[in-house]
């Protein structure tokens, strides 16, 4: 089974405003509330692709109920730990530019935190866990490291999509995939990423430190895949961007779904790009048909 873990889910409140005047009253043209949080997005796309998945993490309050109900309606399996505090609401302001205002996240007690660890103790070597997104400040500083240890002790495999020290500390445990975008890669190495040579150099370092596969995603400019057998550049299909929130998560879902079936990283990379782009061209996350219709437009070549 492919499990996803979202420590800090959200309702994504997508607000379209033609022009934003700070300090004035602005009227929305339209708005949309969607279940959010990176792992939840990954599971929604896996489910869309027909791949069995279960989504885990912490949900609470009326906001948590909204997400739980949405997933039930969509048929996405979940087993969340119920917390006392409310799940956060993240604002995605769409105007001439996309502006995001993300909440810090709810209070999570030690007892609630322990219950997720106990869930992961039941994993087996046939399982893969995708750990995605930020960690609410209430959780212990080394919580991600604790999760990685439990997953490895259970002989399961994992993917991690987070930033900074939590990502770095997980690399020696050989995640199947890490997928920083260019900004996250720069932050990881406290370096400027100004050229393709910089992307290639720092991407290779992630492999050297321990990742099995690395994708550096570059939005409309495509992505680079680093494997132990070569490096590949994938071009993003062209289209009209409607809402790029979740494009990165969709890419992880596409890659993982295909890789777990065929063990072919190039085929997986192609489905990853098609899934990411299909989501960027949709209001919500992509639908299966949109992903498959983009798949034959994705070009990948060795570099």
Ligand X SMILES: O=P(O)(O)OC[C@@]1(O)O[C@H](CO)[C@@H](O)[C@@H]1O
Ligand Y SMILES: Nc1ncnc2c1ncn2[C@@H]1O[C@H](COP(=O)(O)OP(=O)(O)OP(=O)(O)O)[C@@H](O)[C@H]1O
49 contacts ligand Y (rule: CB under 6 A): no
103 contacts ligand Y (rule: CB under 6 A): no
* Count of residues in the chain: 303
157 contacts ligand Y (rule: CB under 6 A): no
107 binds, among ligand Y, ligand X, none (CB under 5 to 8 A by kind): none
- Identified binder of ligand Y from the candidate list 108, 139, 245, 286, rule CB under 6 A: 245
Active site residue 249: yes
Rg of the chain taking only CA atoms, in angstroms? 18
Stretch that binds ligand Y, among 1-9, 13-21, 125-133, 243-251 (CB under 6 A): 243-251
Between 87 and 162, name the residue whose CB sits nearer to ligand Y.
162
Which of these is catalytic: 127, 161, 166, 249?
249
Minimum distance of ligand X from residue 185's CB (angstroms)? 15
For 274-302, give one letter per residue: b (16+ CB within 10 A) or e. Answer: bbbbbbbbbebbbeeebbeebbeebebee
244 binds, among ligand X, ligand Y, none (CB under 5 to 8 A by kind): ligand Y
- Helices 38-48/288-295 angle, 10° precision: 80
- Identified binder of ligand X from the candidate list 10, 63, 217, 275, rule CB under 6 A: 10
- Helices 38-48/61-74 angle, 10° precision: 10
- CA distances (Å), origin 44, targets 40, 56, 185, 215, 236: 6, 12, 26, 21, 21
CA 289: distance to chain centroid? 21
Residues with Cβ within 8 Å of residue 201, at least 6 apart in sequence = none
Residues with Cβ within 8 Å of residue 46, at least 6 apart in sequence = 2, 4, 52, 53, 253, 256, 257
Q: Distance between CA atoms of 290 and 254, rounded to whole angstroms?
A: 13
Between 108 and 170, name the residue whose CB sits nearer to ligand Y.
170
- Identified binder of ligand Y from the candidate list 105, 246, 257, 265, rule CB under 6 A: 246
Minimum distance of ligand Y from residue 239's CB (angstroms)? 6
**Residues numbered 261-290 forming contacts with ligand Y, rule: CB under 6 A:** 273, 276-277, 280
Q: Which residues bind ligand X (CB under 6 A)?
A: 8, 10, 12, 36-38, 41, 90, 102, 133-134, 245-246, 248-249
Residues involved in catalysis = 249
């Amino acid at each position: 089974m492919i499990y996803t873990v979202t420590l800090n889910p959200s309702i994504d409140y997508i607000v379209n405003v033609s022009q934003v005047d700070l300090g004035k009253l602005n009227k929305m043209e339209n708005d949309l509330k969607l279940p959010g949080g990176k792992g939840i997005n990954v599971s929604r796309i896996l489910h869309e692709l027909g791949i069995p998945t279960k989504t885990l993490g912490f949900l609470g309050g009326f906001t948590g109920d909204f997400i739980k109900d949405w997933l039930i309606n969509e048929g996405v399996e979940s087993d969340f730990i119920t917390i006392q505090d409310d799940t956060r609401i993240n604002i995605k302001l769409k105007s001439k530019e996309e502006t995001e205002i993300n909440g810090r996240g709810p209070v999570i007690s030690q007892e609630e935190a322990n219950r997720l660890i106990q869930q992961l103790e039941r994993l087996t070597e046939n399982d893969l866990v995708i750990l995605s997104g930020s960690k609410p400040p209430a959780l212990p500083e080394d919580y991600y490291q604790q999760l990685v240890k439990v997953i490895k002790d259970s002989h399961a495999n994992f993917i991690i999509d987070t930033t900074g020290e939590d990502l770095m500390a997980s690399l020696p445990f050989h995640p199947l995939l890490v997928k920083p975008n260019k900004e996250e890669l720069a932050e990881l190495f406290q370096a400027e990423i100004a050229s393709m040579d910089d992307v290639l150099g720092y991407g290779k370092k992630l492999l050297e430190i321990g990742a099995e596969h690395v994708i550096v995603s570059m939005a409309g400019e495509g992505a680079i895949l680093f494997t132990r057998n070569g490096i590949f550049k994938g071009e993003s299909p062209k289209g009209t961007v409607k809402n790029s929130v979740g494009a990165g998560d969709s890419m992880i879902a596409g890659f993982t779904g295909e890789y777990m079936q065929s063990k072919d990283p190039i085929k997986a990379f192609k489905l990853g790009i098609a899934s990411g782009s299909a989501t960027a061209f949709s209001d919500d996350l992509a639908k299966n048909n949109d992903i498959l219709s983009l798949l034959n437009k994705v070009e990948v070549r060795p570099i």
